Structure 1
Amino acid sequence: MAAATLQAVDQRLRSIITNLYMLILQAHDYHGQGTQHAMTDEIKRLIQNLVEVSQQARTLNIPVPIGIIQYIEQSRNPDVYTREFVESVMKWNQQLKGRSEAFAQFRDILAREMMSGIPDIKDDVREIAASTGG
């Protein structure tokens, strides 16, 4: 079986949503035997689309982190997982930014103190500090 494309799976999912929408409409506007046959046909199309999307999904090559799978298996919302992950990354980025700024300040203070304490290496310290962004 050839590998499925993301577009093909997306199209199949859209078909499933359409099937479900049509079933809702038919159930809401139920008029007996004629509607029952239409609903039966729609359910058959829904089942066929579900089978096909399941087969296509197996051949779709998109890596999903095991943490997300475990999160979903615990009946939790993957959107919450995404939000928590983004918040965690933002927090980590803020910590790294703070560390980076602290090291830059330390570099500048160290260079200034070295230049004032050992005047012979003033030019070398200035060159090194400038090459590292100071």
Structure 2
Amino acid sequence: MFDRNSIVQGLQEIDKLKSQVQDVHVPLKVFEYIDEGRNPQLYTKNCMEKALNKNEQVKGKIDSYRKFRAHLLEELSQVFPNETMKYWTSRGDDVNRIP
């Protein structure tokens, strides 16, 4: 059935190699995938998909804030042209590029 000597030798070999992998951190979820008989690479795939989705959401928010800022500055420049010009000048922006 099982050769106890080979198991002991295998465990001793693993113990000798442990110093080479001390800095490797495996998420507990990976072990759960393995225990459930699932491919642990699916964990990585799922994490990557979640990260991509989150990045898309954040990019959308950034784009929305940029559009809002541009629209706000455009409206402010129509209502408060002098103050807006001072704002642009204080930032060191090129006055000719102002929308």
TM-score (norm 2): 0.68
Task: Give the alignment partner of residue 70 of structure 1, picking from 32, 41, 47.
Answer: 32
Cα deviation, residue 83, structure 1: 0.8
The answer to whether structure 1 residue 52 and structure 2 residue 12 are counterparts is yes
After superposition, residues 31-110 of structure 1 pair within 5 angstroms as: 47=7, 48=9, 50-56=10-16, 58-59=18-19, 60-61=21-22, 62-110=24-72
Structure 1 stretches of 5 or more lacking a match? 1-42
Which of 1 and 2 has greater Rg?
Answer: 1
Give the AA of the match of 2:26.
V
Cα deviation, residue 123, structure 1: 1.7
Task: Give the alignment partner of residue 112 of structure 1, picking from 66, 71, 74.
Answer: 74
Are the counterparts in 2 of residues 71 and 77 from structure 1 also a CA contact under 8 Å? yes
Cα 1:53–1:85 shift into 2, 3 Å: farther
Instruction: Tell me the C-alpha RMSD between the 2 structures.
Output: 2.8
Give the AA of the match of 2:55.
N
Aligned length: 87
Tell me, in whole angstroms, the C-alpha distance in 2 between the residues paired with 1:103 and 1:68.
Answer: 37
Cα deviation, residue 51, structure 1: 1.9
- With CA pairs under 8 Å and 6+ residues apart, which has the higher RCO, 1 or 2? 1
Cα 1:115–1:67 shift into 2, 3 Å: same
Are the counterparts in 1 of residues 33 and 40 from structure 2 also a CA contact under 8 Å? yes
